[in-house]
Amino acid sequence: MNPHRKIKTLGELRESGYAPRSVREEIRGNLIARMETGQPMFPGLVGYDHTVIPRLENALLAGHDIILLGQRGQGKTRLIRALVSLLDEDMPIIRGSEVNDSPFHPISRYGQETLADRQDRMDIEWVPRQRRYTEKLATPDTTISELIGEVDPVKVAEGRYLSDELTIHFGLVPRANRGIFAINELPDLSERVQVGLFNILEERDLQIKGYKIQLPLDILVVATANPEDYTNRGRIITPLKDRYAAHLNTHYPLTRAIEMEIVEREAALQARGGRPVEMPRFLQEVVSEITFQARASHDVNQLSGVSVRMSIANMESLVSNAEKRALRLKEPAIAPRLSDLHAILASTEGKLELEYSGQDKTMTDVVNELMEQAVLTVFNERLDAAEMDELVGAFRDGWWVEVSDELPGADYRQMAGRLPGAANLLAQLGVDVDSPHLPAALEFLLEGLYLNDRLHRELVDGKTTYHEAQKIQPLDPRPDMA
């Protein structure tokens, strides 16, 4: 806890030796302290260590206002909110001030009169760093009054003159004084509001209902924007764009491993109802690879982007479908498998925009193709279909096997024992017959063989049948049907 919080008056604050700093000086000083001690700059942010964060550090050291440019789901808002950790733990203000007046140098009429009247007896209060961050989601109907301020009719009714500055109700920007002010989706602001915003940030004067008030605001201004919005929904006026000295481009995870790390941090994969979640690594890779395939697909509108949120939502949908099976079959663990992938249709479709209107392919067609391509990619990275002749030979002799997301895990254990060559292939996936990952691994092997044109596949009523040619003899997992 900040020991200064016990200080209650300006006189005590002076005696303590407290030295006020501007917002930029605070952030710069605390950033340098982290660099010197080797502390992580922004814990929890993954994938930007060698790209965005070094440029952000440069901007903060230079004291620049910042705009982050990137497609949806690239962590722009999270990155901005992380800047709060670089502010001092607490900051003193004149008690009752609406604009966080410094006890040493107040900028408002209220603060100046209070200091002149009370001097060292003036009461102060301490504002934690979290309250010094103000965020506004820009919308076309955002008004000047919201951002800058308006005449308060209640204060006028109390007997003050309209010419009195104390009749003004300050907006979000003045109230963010001595803190960080962030605007999400900046191009959505109307040009008129952008002009007003530029005026207060550049000229430092407020113009409300004919008033002109000089307020030397101390604010670090940050904003986010999607490059697509420059043409589709609005634009940033040139003077305001020029006000942001640092323009930083964000990006999606550059590797599947980074995407998976983000998913592990964000997705709700903890135990549910006392049942642990047993998620095989190769299935995690498939889920993240689906998103990577979407980002490279000609069927998907790449301007709108494919958010990491798709990977997160898909992983949670996969686990939820496996949880239903565990509940119905009274299985001890939640063990997702490949046949659960149908559950991600709902969480995927809302995250994609097609390049066309759906005349050639429906959204479901596109998602199914993305899933197949993802499975094929991960399968070929982990296994060699050419080394599976023994397993394929069993199907060539006329066997066939049926899998589904409703089949008990015990049936897969019996199935694995009857598939020639399966044990060696499962071992390459790090799975044995007693592993909760066995159903997922067997389905992964069979689907990979199908996608490599080594087996045939039929989908009927939610069940998947794999066979070589004509169905002659079922490979039934139950001993009494052998």
Is the predicted pLDDT of residue 12 greater than 50, yes or no? yes
Residue 482: pLDDT above 50? no
Number of C-beta neighbours around residue 400 at 10 A: 21
Q: Which residue has the higher pLDDT, 164 or 386?
A: 386
Residue 477's pLDDT band, with cuts at 50, 70 and 90, is: very low
- Residue 24 has what pLDDT? 95
Residue 232 phi, psi dihedral angles, 5° rounding:
-85, -40
pLDDT confidence tier of residue 480, bands split at 50, 70 and 90? very low
Q: How far is 151 from 131, CA to CA, in rounded Å? A: 24
Q: Confidence band (pLDDT; 50, 70, 90) for 434? A: confident
How does pLDDT run across 415-425, given as a tens digit for each residue? 888 888 888 88
- Per DSSP, helices labelled H in 10-75 are 10-15, 23-37, 52-62
- Indicate the pTM of the whole model: 0.85
DSSP run (H or E) holding 170: strand 168-170
Taking residues 245-252, report their average pLDDT.
93
Tell me the average pLDDT of the chain: 86
Question: If you average pLDDT over residues 450-458, what whole number do you get?
Answer: 90
- Of all residues in the chain, what percent carry a pLDDT higher than 90? 52
Residue matched to tokens 């340098």: 32
The secondary element (H helix, E strand) that includes residue 126 is: strand 124-128
The CA distance from 387 to 398, in Å, is 20
Residue 309 has which token pair? 């949120």
- Domains of the chain, by residue range, sit at 3-249, 271-481
Tokens 């710069």 belong to which residue? 28
User: Which CATH code is given to the segment(s) 3-249?
Assistant: 3.40.50.300
Helical segments of 128-280, H only? 144-147, 153-157, 172-175, 191-202, 229-232, 238-243, 256-266
Residue 354 has pLDDT above 60, yes or no: yes
Question: In the predicted model, is pLDDT for residue 269 greater than 80?
Answer: no
Q: What is the pLDDT of residues 82-134, one digit of tens each?
A: 999 999 999 999 999 999 999 999 988 889 999 999 999 999 999 999 999 99
Number of neighbouring beta carbons within 10 Å of residue 161: 8
Residue 219: DSSP 8-state: E
Query: What's the gap between Cα 451 and its chain centre?
Result: 32
- Name residues whose C-beta falls within 8 Å of residue 438's C-beta, 6 or more positions apart in sequence: 409, 412, 413, 416, 426, 431, 432
Does residue 2 or residue 376 have the better pLDDT? 376
Exposure on the CB side of residue 83, measured as CA atoms within 13 A: 34
Task: Tell me the pLDDT tens digit for each residue of 283-305.
Answer: 999 999 999 999 999 999 888 88
* Confidence check: pLDDT of 230 > 60: no
SS (H, E, C) 333-400: CECCCHHHHHHHHHHHHCCCCECCCCCCCCHHHHHHHHHHHHHHHHHHHHCCHHHCHHHHHHHHCCEE
Report the DSSP beta bridge partners of residue 452.
Answer: none
Q: How many beta carbons lie within 10 A of that of residue 335, not counting itself?
A: 27
pLDDT of residue 373: 97
The pLDDT tens digits for 201-229 are 776 666 666 666 777 889 999 999 987 65
Alpha-carbon distance of 343 to 340, in angstroms, equals 6
Q: Could you tell me the sign of the dihedral formed by the alpha carbons of 372, 377, 379, 384, in that order? A: positive
Assess whether pLDDT exceeds 80 at residue 35.
yes
